[in-house]
Amino acid sequence: MDDNFIIGYGSWAAVSTPRRKAYHDASSIAADSAPPAILTQFIISQVTSASITRTLQIPTQNSYYLPFSSEKSSSSPALSPIRLGYGVYSYSGEISFEFTEGMLRFLSDSNADGSPGETFARDAIFDVQFFDGRRTCTIYNCVWSALSIQAQPNSLVTGSISFQTNNGYNSDLLIYNGNVLPNYRFDDADLNIPYWQTGASEFESFSISFERSVQPVYLNNDLKCPSYLRPGMVSSSMSVTTIDHHSSWSKGHVDPAPGQSGIGDISVKLGSKTIVLKAAAMTSHQIGLPSMNDAAQKQYSWSSQPLRPNDPQFVISSPKPTKPRP
């Protein structure tokens, strides 16, 4: 049994900035009542698609009485598995969007010691809310399982967030017949990140992925939804397409490790932020000729592989504000 809610025409989507707080309890909110709009540091995204799916996992057991012969006897053979209970719900969702300066706030900067910021903390959660043109769906207590960023010529910089949630301890999807932000107007000051403010000078296109496993945990209680979500460790990778060979790149975004060929730090710009993949090992190198009218393209992939478990895989930073001259 699957229940789906997919964004459509005349719609909007909002996400809250990640926070390290206790889960929000929305179990008292009815599915057809108006859930409150996310007003705590929420970001309206220029969404291209979004969805939330509720799946019912039903426990079953097979009968031991499965005779080889189909002849009728005093005992009827088992015809189907046995349902042992109602089951439990799992929730997963995805939101794809165009990267704007506003959505950059979702990627929190790393701490001063290089440790991950709020977004990448294991106990960080966020909320999602979107309107499909007729109804509003609100999803509380989301934990991301995948973050990706893509930039390429003749296209806008895009991103996507895949997540799991316990739906605010509510079994039903919180869908309201109406728009909870009827007075919202598009923020024309929240501009898209220009392609020329991303990547590096030698990069034609690039993509960055952050992934981690997220396991829903069900406890021995009356809830039909997960009691909490347990995320694993983050893995980070980057793929780059360029015309020049890696050996000819200028310094500034490539910092090789001393004495370690093919291992070093790779940095890219994303609007006002800089993302540095630390201790990146080159995992693939491909040279391709798209056609006889094009120069050969080089594709490289890196994966962050620090030598110590407490070393950061990546660092996200923003330029420090400069003090005006007296």
Within 10 Å of residue 283's Cβ, how many Cβ atoms? 14
Contact 280, 302 (CB under 8 A): yes
pLDDT on residue 287: 83
Contact 101, 190 (CB under 8 A): yes
Instruction: Tokens 């620090």: give the residue.
Output: 306
Q: Where in the chain are the domains? A: 2-62+85-317
Comparing C-alpha atoms, which of 183, 194, 303, 290 is closest to residue 238?
303
Cα separation, 7 vs 52, in Å, equals 9
Contact 140, 168 (CB under 8 A): yes
Could you report the average pLDDT of every consecutive run of 10 residues in the chain (326 residues)?
A: 60 90 89 80 86 93 71 67 91 93 91 89 93 90 96 90 96 91 76 84 90 95 94 93 76 63 81 90 83 76 87 88 56
Cα separation, 45 vs 41, in Å, equals 13
The rounded radius of gyration (Å) of the Cα atoms in the chain is: 24
pLDDT on residue 1: 45
User: What is the enclosing helix (H) or strand (E) of 97?
Assistant: strand 88-98
Within 10 Å of residue 71's Cβ, how many Cβ atoms? 7
Question: What is the phi-psi region of residue 199: left when phi exceeds 0, alpha when psi lies from -120 to 50, beta otherwise?
Answer: left
Report residue 214 CA to chain centroid gap.
11
Question: How many alpha carbons fall within 13 Å on the CB side of residue 126?
Answer: 27
Cα separation, 94 vs 209, in Å, equals 15
Comparing C-alpha atoms, which of 134, 133, 125, 198 is closest to residue 163?
125
pLDDT on residue 183: 77
